Amino acid sequence: METDELTAAPVADRRPAVRHGPLRPSELAEAAVLGDLALVMEVIGWFAPVGVAGIFQALAVIPFAVLAARHRLRAALVSAVAASTVAALVGGIGIMVPVAIASGLGLSVGIAFRRRWSSLAGVGFTILIVGLPLAALTDALDAASAGYRKLSFDQIKILWKLVADVLGGIGLNSLKRDGNELLNWAITHWWVSLPIGEVAIIALVAVGCTRLRAFLVEVRRHVPMPVADEAVERRRHRGTGAGAQPEAPPQPVPVRLEHVSYRYPRADTDALHDVSLTLRPGQFLAVVGPNGCGKSTLVRVLAGRLEPRTGRVERPGPAGLGLVGGTAIVFQRPESQVLGVRVRDDIVWGLPAGERPDITALLQRVGLEGFEERETSTMSGGELQRLAIAAALARSPRLLVSDEATAMVDRPGREGVVSLLRALASSGIAVIHVTHRVEEAALADEVLDMSSAVEAANAPVAPSSFGLALSPKPTPRFRVIPSLPRAEPFPRPAAPARPATARRGEPLVTLEGVGYVYAEGTPWAHRALEGIDLVLWRGEGVVLTGPNGSGKSTLAWLLAGLTMPTEGTALLEGEPIAGQPGRVGISFQHARLQLLRPTVMADVRLGADEDRARRAMLAVGLDPDVMGARRVDDLSGGEQRRVALAGMLVRRPDLIVLDEPYAGLDDEARTSLARTLEQLRRLSGVAVVVVTHDLDNAEVLGDRLIHLDNGRITSEDTLLGQP
Amino acid sequence: MSDFHVLRYVPGSSVIHRMWAGTKLVWFALVSIGLLLWPTWRAVGVGALMVLGGFLAARLPRGVAPRLPRWIWLLFLVAFAIAVGASGKPYVHLGHLRIGFGGLDQFALFWSIAIEVLALAFLVSWTTPLADLAPALGRLGWPLRKLRLPVDEVVGAVALSIRCLPLLLEEGRVLSAARRARRSSAKTSAREMAQGIEDLIWAALSNALRRAREIAEAIEARGGVPTIAPETHPFELRDGVLVALTLAGMTAMALLRA
């Protein structure tokens, strides 16, 4: 399943599962994130050129509509109020009012959709809950403040006078007279004219918003409702302690699984097939296996979030996920599991009011001394994972589960996390570390190898992030295309693919004295790159590596022409790279952001004909007949990266830059991707720059290995022809 | 888009920095309301005194000032021209040209108020650690809590929104870069443009919902939605002084409106 498996949750009903009571985790999370999305659109609209600004501001309606269509009113209202508040903090009334109006419009559209009202009723509802209150508010404000009234009318008068002068100038004097009279009437009767005008505008907007319904149908069809967290009993730590605690204290270990299998609703095969294991306190168990073998499902069973369909789970008490003395999980994506703005706040996030952990000691234990006041948004992936472990330890868990916590972290970070897990096990906690890297199992007491489970179940089945259970994946997922010359197993072919002669003539890319400073001149300025000199040749393969925060990604953006260096020059055949879009392709770690069309073929075809699109898909190992019609949201992270790669190839770029192409991929998928890149370079002469902290198979990826540290090139090695 | 410095804290130890976040929020809210209710030059003057005083006291580095995109000045110029072209007395004669400054007055007043409110919002966010904002709101919300409104839930959502805003801004940055990298040189029709916008929304939405799902899992792994612990930042003399000054300013705005 690759990266998406971790976010997988069972798909079920599309109606809001909850009808009353406080917000559940999924509701709170969507309320916050979708409110933010609307706010971001408003902010972009603010900074965008005038014509485009209005579009973005109108788009801010959509997140609220989606939220109200998916969840109950309580979530939508909380989101509207919270987003308006944050908007006021970001930019005052000028941005709060549009966000508030957008939230009202979105809410009314979403509610009308969820309750299956007719379009007409929906428009009426919008007028009722947005138009009338807005009109009343304006009237109240105008009544309270004659100054405000005068100010707004003067603006209107000024504009009208300009129009009237034009009308008079071209001889439409009667129109000018009528207009004058109408305006004068409207101004003297402002308490009628203003509300009528506003309600009319809102009615027009509401009619426009009915077009959103088709969009909401698409969302309902393709984005499943979160239900995983609703399956768990509700536990809250009310400050008053009003008996909301579960009766039995958590006792997650020792735990014994006997022939446990699990199948997600609407899936054809088991996600977890016949697993047996025992885990005692102080034991360190590593669970290894490729993507899609059911590792994440196993984690959910152990955490008590899923009840197995067959087999038995024995433990002395409840798993107590997130409770003191219960089960704690550390997930794969570092930045998504940190919930506090400051390190200190994150550790105590969600702790019962009485608990006051020794934050300094916890941070010391995970190797983050002195991080108490750091803002979490400034920390690296490895640091964030340590922080997540510290937050888990604040609950003194008896069972600690790392659900691929090392998958997105660089090598030193990974080693640190694994040895930390080892130390925690030695101190008496039962620890499970799920990983697809066999070498990380070395420190474990026991290893559960789940690769055979794949063969047994014969298919990866855990539904991936969106809608997979609705459209099960065909297997095999990457068909090897017979017509392409199959690359030899590693290492690379004996004859160098790119003879030394290719270096004669003009270099492809020249970087001279390139430096980059983010937010230069502000208090938040920070230097990412300094004095980079680099030359790339046609058909060359270069691996750029370095620790988190070394400036790798910034360099990737510069090479792709997405940002201009703040110092020095970045040229592609003598011209600035930024001025030549299309000649350099870039693939981001989260490839979904660069897929612009809903289906694979439609996306690859952007700016090319179908024939070329098919060839590009074949070149990256995707069968156009199988994959072409698939929705990009249904693909795994690795598949999405391949689609993005095909989308670049149709434009025949001279250079392809890949940012962390391996993140979250298992060995098989990595090998296959490396082989694809190697073939591309050999067959089409495109230069490839791979930015990665993961140096396995580096020799297949390129001829040169460049180390970055602290924004500078520290060393350069030749990979080709080494003994 | 990397230059969106929204809600970013500038560390410092000035009087304003040390104040309770709630005091600054009240300050911000009251001055905004005052300017909205009594939009006169005198009120703008009173507001400007408070905002400038705040900036001087906060001792922020000069680099915090946001750099405006170039088109803003163009927009400003157009609005200025409209205001001048359509206005009345008083007139200034430049040779044969007669320029009226009557409308300019209203134009300048409108923009002064907008800029003043924005400056105050920036001042509050630059001098207040982000983590302090939501708890302060929760404490300020006690009257609403008395009415049995779910204040804590809103405060929790505000805190989570503030935490997630940088993530979404970063995704927005990547999204727009990806579009730039793939923009086609061929001319696009209006229909294609509409399609492009719909696709953009899908990508943004699909990412946001996925992000929300991961965050929901993380919340659950910490035992569910918590109640925010009541904050106990002391309300000191400096807070009292600022509140008193703000109330005095409001009174001045109201009295000087004539």
CB contact under 8 A, B86 and A159: yes
- Chain A contact probe: residue of B13, B116, B153 with most A CBs at under 10 A: B153
Residue B1, burial from CB neighbour count under 10 angstroms (0-12, 13-18, 19+): middle
The ipTM is 0.91
Q: Which amino acid is at A455?
A: E
Of the partner residues A88, A328, A593, the one whose CB lies closest to the CB of residue B203? A593
Dist. CA A547–CA A557, nearest whole Å: 17
* Helix B41-58 × helix B21-37 angle, to 10°: 160
pLDDT of residue A340: 86
pTM for this prediction: 0.85
Q: Which amino acid is at A125?
A: F
Of the partner residues B39, B64, B197, the one whose CB lies closest to the CB of residue A522? B64
pLDDT of residue A406: 84
Of the partner residues A74, A147, A582, the one whose CB lies closest to the CB of residue B38? A147
CB contact under 8 A, B207 and A329: no
> Nearest residue on chain B to A649, judged by CA atoms?
B182
> Nearest residue on chain A to B186, judged by CA atoms?
A607
Dist. CA A399–CA A255, nearest whole Å: 10
Q: Which two tokens stand for residue A652?
A: 């025949």
Average pLDDT for chain A:
80
Task: Kindly state the helix (H) or strand (E) to which residue A714 belongs, with its residue range.
Answer: strand A712-718
Nearest to A111 by CA among A12, A206, A13: A206
- Chain A contact probe: residue of B31, B219, B256, B257 with most A CBs at under 10 A: B219
Dist. CA A398–CA A424, nearest whole Å: 10
> pLDDT by residue (tens digit) across A681-690?
888 888 999 9
DSSP A455-486: HHH-S--S--TTTTTTSPPPSSSSPPPTTSPP
Instruction: Judge whether B36 and A93 are in contact, CB under 8 Å.
Output: yes
- Chain A contact probe: residue of B77, B149, B217, B219 with most A CBs at under 10 A: B217
pLDDT of residue B190: 78
* B140 alpha carbon, distance to own chain's centre: 19
CB contact under 8 A, B82 and A342: no
pLDDT of residue A234: 41
Distances (CA, A) of A45 to A91, A93, A184, B169: 13, 15, 34, 13
pLDDT of residue B193: 77
Report the gap between the CA of A82 and the closest CA in chain B (Å).
5
Q: Which residue's structure tokens are 């998928």?
A: A669
Q: Which two tokens stand for residue A701?
A: 């990826």
The answer for A294, left when phi > 0, alpha when psi is -120 to 50, beta otherwise, is left
Instruction: Judge whether B138 and B22 are in contact, CB under 8 Å.
Output: no
Q: What is the pLDDT along chain B (258 residues), one digit of tens a residue?
A: 345 677 888 888 999 999 999 999 999 999 999 988 888 889 999 999 999 999 999 999 888 877 766 777 777 777 777 666 655 566 666 666 666 666 677 778 878 888 899 899 999 999 998 888 988 998 998 888 888 888 888 998 999 999 999 889 888 888 888 887 776 655 667 777 777 788 888 889 988 998 998 899 899 888 877 766 667 788 889 999 999 999 999 999 988 876
pLDDT of A190 strictly over 80:
yes
Instruction: Judge whether A240 and A157 are in contact, CB under 8 Å.
Output: no
Helix (H, G, I), strand (E, B) or coil at B209: helix
> Nearest residue on chain B to A44, judged by CA atoms?
B1
pLDDT of residue A461: 34
Question: What is the DSSP-derived secondary structure letter of residue A11?
Answer: B
* A658 DSSP β-pair partners: A587, A690
Chain B residues with CB under 8 Å of A656 CB are none
Q: Pairing relation of β-strands A655-659 and A584-587?
A: parallel
Chain B residues with CB under 8 Å of A92 CB are 28, 32, 117-118, 120-121
Report the gap between the CA of B243 and the closest CA in chain A (Å).
19
CB contact under 8 A, B114 and A43: no
CB contact under 8 A, A25 and B224: yes
* A508 alpha carbon, distance to own chain's centre: 33
> pLDDT by residue (tens digit) across A3-42?
333 333 444 444 555 567 888 889 999 999 999 999 998 8
Which segments of A145-189 does DSSP mark as H helices, in order?
146-169, 173-188
pLDDT of A83 strictly over 90:
yes
Chain B contacts in chain A segment 351-390 (CB below 8 A): 351, 353, 375-377
> pLDDT by residue (tens digit) across A218-244?
888 888 777 544 444 444 333 333 344
Residue ranges of E strands in A522-605: 526-536, 541-545, 567-572, 575-576, 584-587
Chain B contacts in chain A segment 452-471 (CB below 8 A): 465-466
CB contact under 8 A, A86 and B161: yes
Compute φ and ψ for B239, nearest 5 degrees.
-65, -45
Asked if A223 is an interface residue toward chain B (Cβ–Cβ < 8 A), one would say: yes
Quick one: what percent of chain A has pLDDT higher than 70? 85
Instruction: Judge whether A441 and A289 are in contact, CB under 8 Å.
Output: no
Of the partner residues A31, A349, A606, the one whose CB lies closest to the CB of residue B182? A606
Q: Which two tokens stand for residue A490?
A: 């590693």
Asked if A331 is an interface residue toward chain B (Cβ–Cβ < 8 A), one would say: yes
* CB-based contacts of A607, cutoff 8 Å, min separation 6: A650, A651, B182, B184, B186
HEC per residue, A368-430: CCCCCCCEHHHCCHHHHHHHHHHHHHCCCCCEEEEECCCCCCCHHHHHHHHHHHHHHHHCCCE
- Chain A contact probe: residue of B133, B140, B165, B201 with most A CBs at under 10 A: B165
pLDDT of residue B88: 59
CB contact under 8 A, A328 and B179: no
DSSP A483-536: TSPPPPSSS--SS-SS-GGGGSS--SEEEEEEEEEETTTSTT-EEEEEEEEEEE
Chain B residues with CB under 8 Å of A395 CB are 222-223
Distances (CA, A) of A720 to A195, A508, A540, A676: 75, 20, 11, 18
pLDDT of residue A495: 40
Helix (H, G, I), strand (E, B) or coil at A226: strand
Q: Which residue's structure tokens are 């697993």?
A: A275
Dist. CA B107–CA B82, nearest whole Å: 10
Q: Which residue's structure tokens are 């163009």?
A: B74
> Nearest residue on chain B to A602, judged by CA atoms?
B199
Half-sphere exposure for A204 (CA within 13 Å, toward CB): 6
Of the partner residues A36, A234, A525, the one whose CB lies closest to the CB of residue B224? A234
CB contact under 8 A, B69 and A47: yes
pLDDT of residue A330: 92
Chain B residues with CB under 8 Å of A8 CB are none
Of the partner residues A25, A59, A345, the one whose CB lies closest to the CB of residue B201? A59
Asked if A571 is an interface residue toward chain B (Cβ–Cβ < 8 A), one would say: no
Dist. CA A311–CA A274, nearest whole Å: 8
Q: Which two tokens stand for residue A130?
A: 């947005």
pLDDT of residue B186: 58
pLDDT of residue A496: 42
Which segments of A303-394 does DSSP mark as H helices, in order?
343-348, 359-365, 381-393
- Chain B contact probe: residue of A56, A71, A84, A93 with most B CBs at under 10 A: A93
* Longest CA–CA separation in chain A, Å: 93
CB contact under 8 A, A25 and B184: no
Chain B residues with CB under 8 Å of A250 CB are none
Compute φ and ψ for A310, nearest 5 degrees.
-135, 160
* CB-based contacts of B29, cutoff 8 Å, min separation 6: none
Dist. CA B172–CA B201, nearest whole Å: 11
The answer for B74, left when phi > 0, alpha when psi is -120 to 50, beta otherwise, is alpha
pLDDT of residue B83: 66
Chain B contacts in chain A segment 277-316 (CB below 8 A): 303, 305
pLDDT of residue B192: 76
Sign, CA torsion A548/A549/A551/A557: positive
Report the gap between the CA of B225 and the closest CA in chain A (Å).
6
Dist. CA B39–CA A151, nearest whole Å: 7
Asked if A395 is an interface residue toward chain B (Cβ–Cβ < 8 A), one would say: yes
Chain A residues with CB under 8 Å of B215 CB are 29, 32-33, 336-337, 339
Asked if A220 is an interface residue toward chain B (Cβ–Cβ < 8 A), one would say: no
Task: Categorize the per-residue pLDDT at A712 as very low, low, confident or very high, splitting at 50, 70 and 90.
Answer: very high
Specify which of A66-70, A611-615, A623-627 reaches the highest per-range mean pLDDT: A66-70
pLDDT of residue B194: 79
CB contact under 8 A, B178 and A588: yes
Sign, CA torsion A375/A381/A383/A385: positive
Q: ∠ CA(A48), CA(A53), CA(A56), 5° rounding?
A: 105
> Nearest residue on chain B to A632, judged by CA atoms?
B203
CB contact under 8 A, B64 and A148: no
Asked if A37 is an interface residue toward chain B (Cβ–Cβ < 8 A), one would say: yes
pLDDT of residue A534: 93
Dist. CA A430–CA A402, nearest whole Å: 11
Asked if A328 is an interface residue toward chain B (Cβ–Cβ < 8 A), one would say: yes
pLDDT of residue A322: 86
Dist. CA A287–CA A268, nearest whole Å: 24
Task: Kindly state the helix (H) or strand (E) to which residue A203 belongs, with its residue range.
Answer: helix A190-209
CB contact under 8 A, B217 and A586: no
Instruction: For chains A and B, count residue pairs whose Cβ atoms are closer than 8 Å.
Output: 371
> pLDDT by residue (tens digit) across A99-114?
999 999 999 999 999 9
Of the partner residues B130, B131, B209, the one whose CB lies closest to the CB of residue A223? B209
pLDDT of residue B227: 65
Q: Which two tokens stand for residue A540?
A: 């060359």
The answer to which of A106-120, A452-466, A596-610, B11-25 has the lowest mean pLDDT is A452-466
CB contact under 8 A, B157 and A466: no
* A108 alpha carbon, distance to own chain's centre: 27
Q: Pairing relation of β-strands A712-718 and A526-536?
A: unpaired
> Nearest residue on chain A to B71, judged by CA atoms?
A49
> pLDDT by residue (tens digit) across A490-522?
333 334 444 443 555 678 999 999 999 988 878
* Helix A190-209 × helix A173-188 angle, to 10°: 100
Instruction: Judge whether A343 and B243 are in contact, CB under 8 Å.
Output: no
pLDDT of residue A169: 82
> pLDDT by residue (tens digit) across A615-637?
889 888 888 898 888 888 888 88
CB contact under 8 A, B219 and A339: yes
